[in-house]
């Protein structure tokens, strides 16, 4: 296991110095899911929720969250994101909403935290907009699905790659 990069030799927190690293193309995909009652999913699917278009609000919230990640997560570098996509799949079997967030840039550090933040905030926004009709919703399985680029190379969970 590699050492923690956000700690100095004395164990103090620090922002990693990326000044000497080369710029490379970097991408990260994160996923989350919001499990809900079938009636709640039907409201979202029909676009008939009284608060408006739940998925449009969640998409905008996720994109904005990716851009604000260094304001939310200590020691994250501010990044010049080139692309942030937040996509949704309505799943009646779950029942719920599957969220995929993808972030891209050319830079000196990865975009995993931005993708994770986008997926998380999109899920929280769905919960917030629907909590009046379904307080029992759960946000589950938030995680990094894959990352590409950088010194550590490519990584993916499972066999299926998700294109951004």
Q: What are phi and psi of 76, to 5 degrees?
A: -75, 140
Write out the DSSP string of 132-157.
TT-TT-EEEEEEEEEEE-STT--EES
Residue 73 zone, left/alpha/beta (φ > 0; ψ -120 to 50; rest) = beta
3-state secondary structure at position 101: strand
Residues with a catalytic annotation lie at 128
Token output for 120: 């998380």
Cβ neighbors of 70 (< 8 A, separation 6 or more) are 76, 77, 78, 79
């Amino acid at each position: 296991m590699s050492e923690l990069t956000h700690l100095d030799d004395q164990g103090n927190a620090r922002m990693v110095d990326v000044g000497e690293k080369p710029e490379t193309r970097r991408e990260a995909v994160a996923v989350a899911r919001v499990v809900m009652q079938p009636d709640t999913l039907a409201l979202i699917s029909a676009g008939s929720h009284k608060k408006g278009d739940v998925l449009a609000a969640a998409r905008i919230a996720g994109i904005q969250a990716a851009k604000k990640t260094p304001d939310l997560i200590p020691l994250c570098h501010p990044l010049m994101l080139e692309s942030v996509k937040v996509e949704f799949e309505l799943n009646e079997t779950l029942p719920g909403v599957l969220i995929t967030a993808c972030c891209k840039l050319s830079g000196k550090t990865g975009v995993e935290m931005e993708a994770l933040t986008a997926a998380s905030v999109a899920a929280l926004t769905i919960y917030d907009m629907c909590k009046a009709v379904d307080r029992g919703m759960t946000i589950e399985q938030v995680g990094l699905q894959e990352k590409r680029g950088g010194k550590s190379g490519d990584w993916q969970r499972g066999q299926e790659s998700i294109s951004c």
